[in-house]
Amino acid sequence: MKLAERTQHVAGSFTIGISMMAREMMSQGKDVLNLSVGEPDFKVPERAKHAAVQALELDLTKYDKVPGVLELREAICDKLKTENGLDYTPDQIVVSNGAKQAIMNTLLAVMDPGDEVLLPVPYWTSYPEIVKLCGGTPVYAVPVDTVNYKVTPADLEKVVSEKTRILIFNNPSNPAGTVYNEEEVRAIGEFCLEKGLWLLSDEIYEKFCFVDPCFSVAATSPEVKDITIVVNGLSKSVAMTGLRVGYTASNTKIATAISKMQSHLTSHTSTLSQWVGHDALRYCGEEIDAQIDIYRRRREVMLKKLKTLPDITFLEPDGAFYVMVDFGAYRDKIEYNGSFSVALCRRILEETEVAIVPGIAFGLDNYARIAYVLEEKRLEEGLERIEKFLRSLK
């Protein structure tokens, strides 16, 4: 029996794949340092955790509204207003099973099969696959500036076509940690407006900004806000990756279309998770900010330690919690057939028990992505193991 064509064209998630290998090794008793997955290691704040128990006790266990529990959508609107200067009403918010589904919902709502979707390189590994699942074609925009990897209108101009429907803009970016400033963000918004494109602004790492705060493209003008679908969620900022709460904020017409898509896919995310999200947004701001400070320190430790590794360079990240490290100098020291970064990361995992993600997952095969999601001592140990491995290749 034949499987659907799309199972051939859509790749599995590299990040989930490598992380599963790491977990498997851990279950065999190995001391694996998992620096692969984009999952903060802190716990959901107590008050927010309790909201799930309370929701169960109150029997809030039935189907609820497709776009999400109203109180959560109100809390999201307040957050967007106070933190991002954005005015949305609850009917413009759709809560989904993580930001991942929010992205899929959005593409299903705004593009047709055959349409093209612009993706700046390096891109989050799931974007091209979600685009393909929706019948679209990912089109890659490679920035001229390969120091900061910031895409500009001139870079986008080279690849935009009649078929382009939407740009997926990830700020701060996974994997590069790039944070665009207000002027750069404004230029991206104006480009989309001029070309008649939708703009999906994935702001899931907005809390993880270590130099300047993140500026939402939707805040640049009412016209840009109208074409923008802001995607955000609580997986990273509240460390509730497994609870699956993401959302879109958009104009009412798009929100209604997104909600219609979701009504036939998942109805809505778990009501218990939504109540955890509600209490996290309403009552746990201080705890969340304190966790971000821990990440700020880890970033410094990482950058300092990385400077001691032989023959590598890296993109200095201003945000998110990843570093893209260029291992290109080791190309002739590693045997590979196909992808260099896959072979490199496999050897690093097998020989040093440190899990990092091959850069090919993000469109840059000379690189690997290291997530600083463990405590400082463990991070240092991870880099020391990699350093030893690299020195053994010389």
Chain residues binding ligand PLP by CB under 6 A are 38, 98-100, 124, 170, 174, 202, 204, 233, 235, 241, 246
Q: Which residue is nearest to ligand PLP (CB)?
A: 98
Decide whether 279 or 330 has the Cβ nearer to ligand PLP: 279
Decide whether 51 or 130 has the Cβ nearer to ligand PLP: 130
Four-CA torsion 264, 266, 267, 273, nearest 10 degrees? -170
Tell me the residue type at 312.
I
Decide whether 155 or 206 has the Cβ nearer to ligand PLP: 206
Q: In the bound complex, what is the minimum distance in angstroms from residue 237's beta carbon to ligand PLP? A: 10
Give the CA angle between residues 387, 391, 394 to the nearest 5°: 150
Decide whether 309 or 373 has the Cβ nearer to ligand PLP: 373
Rounded Cα–Cα distance for residues 42 and 374 (Å)? 9
DSSP code per residue over 246-315: EEEE--HHHHHHHHHHHHHHTSSS-HHHHHHHHHHHHH-HHHHHHHHHHHHHHHHHHHHHHTTSTT-EEE
Q: In the bound complex, what is the minimum distance in angstroms from residue 73's beta carbon to ligand PLP? A: 16
Q: Enter the DSSP assignment of 326.
A: E
Q: In the bound complex, what is the minimum distance in angstroms from residue 205's beta carbon to ligand PLP? A: 7
Nearest to 233 by CA among 184, 259, 269: 269
Decide whether 261 or 390 has the Cβ nearer to ligand PLP: 261
Give the CA angle between residues 162, 126, 319 to the nearest 5°: 100
Q: In the bound complex, what is the minimum distance in angstroms from residue 246's beta carbon to ligand PLP? A: 4
Q: In the bound complex, what is the minimum distance in angstroms from residue 102's beta carbon to ligand PLP? A: 7
Q: Which two tokens stand for residue 185?
A: 């963000």
Q: In the bound complex, what is the minimum distance in angstroms from residue 351's beta carbon to ligand PLP? A: 26
Decide whether 77 or 102 has the Cβ nearer to ligand PLP: 102
